[in-house]
Amino acid sequence: MSDTLFQLVADYGVWLLAVACFLSCLLVPIPTSLLMLAGGAFVAAGDLDLGNTLAAAWIGAVLGDQAGFRIGRMAATTLDRLAARWPKQGRTLQKARDLVARQGEIGVFFSTWLVAPLGPYVNLIAGATGLKWLRFTIWDAAGEAIWVSAYIGLGYVFADQLTMVANVASNATGFLAAAAVALLFGLLLRSRLRKTRRDRPTPN
How many CB atoms neighbour CB 184 within 10 A? 18
**CA 95, CA 125: separation in Å to the nearest integer?**
10
- Cβ pair 110, 103 in contact under 8 A: yes
One digit per residue, the tens of pLDDT, for the chain of length 204 reads 566 777 888 889 899 999 999 999 998 988 888 889 889 888 988 989 999 999 999 999 999 999 999 998 888 777 777 767 777 777 777 777 777 777 778 888 988 988 788 889 889 888 888 788 999 999 999 999 999 999 898 888 877 765 554 554 454 444 444 444 444 445 555 655 566 666 655 555
Under 8 Å between Cβ of 100 and 135: no
Task: Identify which of 21, 24, 99 has the alpha carbon closest to the alpha carbon of residue 54.
Answer: 21
Phi, psi of 66 (to 5 degrees): -65, -40
pLDDT score, position 49: 95
CA dist., res. 18 & res. 64, Å (int): 10
Query: How far is the C-alpha of 83 from the C-alpha of 103, rounded, in Å?
Result: 22
| Number of Cβ within a 10 Å radius of residue 4 | 9
* Residue count of the chain: 204
Phi and psi at 53, nearest 5°, equal: -65, -45
Query: Amino acid letter at 35?
Result: L
Phi, psi of 25 (to 5 degrees): -75, -5
Backbone angles phi, psi at 122, to 5 degrees: -65, -40
Neighbours of 202 (CB within 10 A): 4
The answer to whether residues 35 and 5 touch, using CB atoms and an 8 Å cutoff, is: yes
pLDDT for the residue numbered 172: 43
pLDDT at 59: 97
